[in-house]
């Protein structure tokens, strides 16, 4: 791989694609060249970036000749079609879709948790699901120190998780409601503003779990490298533009005090504690939006678990940044560092 690498972004016109550009600039990510890729309908449009005008090219199987790293956020079907072609051309793909996450030969990486897995790639590295990343950044250091046996999590997921169109529709619904007009319902097929509902992914009729919930269960086990951690999940859409929140209940293998949890999180990379009980100041979507860290608060002993083995906390993280684009760029940074296995 060249250093600086020749870089490509697939799906550059989407919310995560645009965030890739912002984060690359903010983190001074080095690149020798930059190729911007999207669907045929966006091909030919131009983007001004760091003083240079780039013309968007159509994403094809031939797009990756002379590219070292490609950041993908073009959707699962596009990833399945084009990522193998990119890898065949000698490019390393960091893929934001679910296409390869559970493939045994594809590393599934959260840099704060398992950076060493980057070295095991065969041309594709998978970015985990946004809710999985946001949960695991603070849960992993606790698991390392105390051993987490069970996680019970309820998510409060923003429109950003469904893309730019969903964010735009939530804004439009607010305008519709204020104007007394019929509520636009093109994305979710229901009123979103002043409402919340079960995550819009498909529900397995046999288990009752939706796809988003199943992702969090399976991906956590793969990222942690353990099969005996029990994860129970309920995923809910809430009328928030950006940044997901999660209520997390942990059961440890040993008694753990609230202070021990606070001390461990204070040292954890990618975590910031906001926990002011007196003034009721805790993690909120507006606080987490456009931020890199996962915010943790409401840290308290779970009085429903005897023996001091349970802890409750509430977390918030920007789905577009740490839940997607930032995590992918951090993986690309690890590629440049040649992290050993």
Which pairing describes strands 310-317 and 294-301: parallel, antiparallel, or unpaired? antiparallel
Cis before 4 (ω within 30): yes
What mean pLDDT comes out for the span 142-166?
96
pLDDT at 3: 82
What mean pLDDT comes out for the span 1-18?
92
Determine what percent of the chain is predicted with pLDDT higher than 90: 97
Fold designation for 132-319: Dihydrodipicolinate Reductase; domain 2 (3.30.360)
Catalytic residue among 91, 121, 130, 245: 130
- Chain centroid to Cα 149, Å, comes to 23
Quote the crossing angle between the two packed helices 130-146 and 211-224, to the nearest 10°: 40
Work out the mean pLDDT of the chain and round it to a whole number: 96
Fill in the DSSP letter of residue 32. Answer: S
Does residue 340 register a pLDDT over 70? no
What mean pLDDT comes out for the span 8-22?
96
pLDDT at 338: 61
Q: What is the pLDDT of residues 262-284, one digit of tens each?
A: 999 999 999 999 999 999 999 99
Which pairing describes strands 52-55 and 294-301: parallel, antiparallel, or unpaired? unpaired
Which residue is it, tokens 């029990």? Answer: 230
| Domain assignments of the chain as residue spans, ordered by start | 6-128+324-337, 132-319
pLDDT at 315: 98
Tokens of 180: 């007394």
User: Hey, do 6-128+324-337 and 132-319 end up sharing a CATH topology, with the first three levels equal?
Assistant: no
Which pairing describes strands 244-252 and 310-317: parallel, antiparallel, or unpaired? antiparallel
- The pLDDT confidence band at residue 297, using thresholds 50, 70 and 90, is very high
Does residue 1 register a pLDDT over 80? no
Query: Which CATH class, in words, describes the domain spanning 6-128+324-337?
Result: alpha beta
pLDDT at 337: 86
Does residue 339 register a pLDDT over 70? no
Active site residue 199: no
Contact by Cβ (8 Å): 9, 29: no
Instruction: State the pTM of this model.
Output: 0.95
What mean pLDDT comes out for the span 62-66?
96
Q: What is the pLDDT of residues 298-329, one digit of tens each?
A: 999 999 999 999 999 999 999 999 999 999 99
Q: Which residues pair with 235 in a beta bridge?
A: 155
What mean pLDDT comes out for the span 224-230?
94
Does residue 341 register a pLDDT over 50? no
Quote the crossing angle between the two packed helices 15-26 and 326-337, to the nearest 10°: 50
How many whole angstroms separate alpha carbon 163 and alpha carbon 258? 37
Q: What is the pLDDT of residues 25-53, one digit of tens each?
A: 999 999 999 999 999 999 999 999 999 99
Does residue 157 register a pLDDT over 80? yes
pLDDT at 286: 97
Catalytic residue among 199, 244, 245, 282: 244
């Amino acid at each position: 791989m060249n250093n600086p690498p020749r870089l490509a972004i697939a799906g550059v016109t989407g919310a995560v694609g645009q965030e890739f550009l912002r984060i690359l600039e903010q983190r001074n990510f080095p690149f020798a060249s930059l190729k911007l890729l999207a669907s045929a309908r966006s091909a030919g449009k131009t983007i001004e970036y760091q003083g240079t005008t780039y013309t968007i090219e159509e994403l094809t199987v031939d797009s990756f000749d002379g590219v070292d790293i490609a950041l993908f956020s073009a959707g699962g079907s596009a990833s399945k079609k084009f990522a193998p072609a990119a890898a065949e051309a000698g490019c390393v793909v960091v893929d934001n879709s679910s296409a390869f996450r559970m493939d045994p030969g594809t590393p599934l990486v959260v840099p704060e948790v398992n950076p060493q897995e980057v070295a095991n790639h065969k041309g594709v590295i998978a970015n985990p699901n946004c809710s999985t990343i946001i949960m695991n950044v603070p849960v992993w250091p606790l698991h390392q120190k105390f051993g987490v046996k069970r996680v019970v999590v309820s998510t409060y997921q923003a429109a950003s998780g469904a893309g730019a169109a969903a964010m735009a529709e939530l804004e439009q619904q607010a305008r519709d409601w204020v104007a007394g007009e019929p509520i636009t319902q093109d994305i979710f097929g229901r009123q979103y503003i002043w409402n919340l509902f079960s995550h819009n992914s498909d529900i397995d009729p046999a288990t009752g779990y939706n796809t988003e919930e199943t992702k969090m269960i399976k991906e956590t086990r793969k990222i942690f490298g353990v099969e005996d951690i029990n994860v129970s999940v309920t995923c809910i859409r809430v009328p928030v533009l950006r940044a997901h929140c999660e209520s997390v209940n942990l059961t440890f293998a040993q008694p753990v005090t609230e202070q021990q949890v606070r001390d461990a999180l204070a040292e954890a990379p990618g975590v910031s504690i906001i926990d002011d009980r007196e003034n009721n100041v805790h993690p909120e979507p507006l606080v987490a939006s456009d931020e890199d860290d996962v915010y943790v608060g409401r840290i308290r002993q779970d009085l429903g678990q005897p023996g001091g083995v349970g802890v409750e906390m509430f977390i918030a993280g920007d789905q577009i940044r740490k839940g997607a684009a930032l995590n992918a760029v951090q993986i690309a940074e690890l590629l440049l560092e040649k992290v050993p296995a």
